[in-house]
Amino acid sequence: MISKSRIKWIEDVRNASAGLIKSVYGGSSQEITKYGILLRLYFANDGTNSTKLNKSKDNAILEEVTTKARVDHTNNKKIINILINKKSNVGKNSYLNTYISTVIPLISNSYKPSKPFKMIRIMENGTTNLEIVKTPEQMRGLYVSNLCEIIRIYLKIEWDRAKKGE
């Protein structure tokens, strides 16, 4: 029964993610916000934190970094590494929830960078690269790509757990 519930949850998250992507590339900022809120609900705080990092400090750094669209490579890299950990989802929800809540306003056209800056791109193989971002469209595309990759990794772990009957 738990396995079926987990599979249903995975399907719902995939649908919400697809809705977000579709709204970014052809919908309104209200639709983007709606799907962002829905995703945040799916990744509500699970009450766990298995990392050795200071969660409240890292969430504050993450919020500042994404809101201002600046990258402090050291701190942001730590948070990104938590989100792209392919071994476990334990302790990820609060980081993912914060990431979603700070990225949604940026991808809904409400932020326009005033000058080029460096951003981390999450690659499909789990590595990261730095890219120079020059336009709002490029920034939105990179945030959407990173969010999709983070959610893909999270759902893969959940799918593997469902296959084991957990």
Q: Region 146-150: what's the mean pLDDT?
A: 92
pLDDT tens, residue by residue, 46-69 = 666 544 445 566 566 565 555 554
Between 135 and 70, where is the model more confident?
Answer: 135
pLDDT tens, residue by residue, 98-145 = 888 878 887 887 667 777 877 888 888 878 888 888 888 888 888 899
Name every residue whose Cβ is closer than 8 Å to that of residue 46 and which is 6 or more positions away in sequence: 90, 91, 93, 94
Closest CA to 100 of 61, 159, 150: 150
What local confidence, expressed as pLDDT, does residue 110 receive? 62
CB atoms within 10 A of CB 40: 18
What local confidence, expressed as pLDDT, does residue 39 receive? 94
The percentage of the chain sitting over the pLDDT mark of 70, rounded to a whole number, equals 79
- Per DSSP, 122 falls in state E
Does 146 score more than 80 pLDDT?
Answer: yes
Computed over every residue of the chain, the mean pLDDT equals 81
What local confidence, expressed as pLDDT, does residue 156 receive? 95
What are the structure tokens assigned to 148, written together? 């999709």
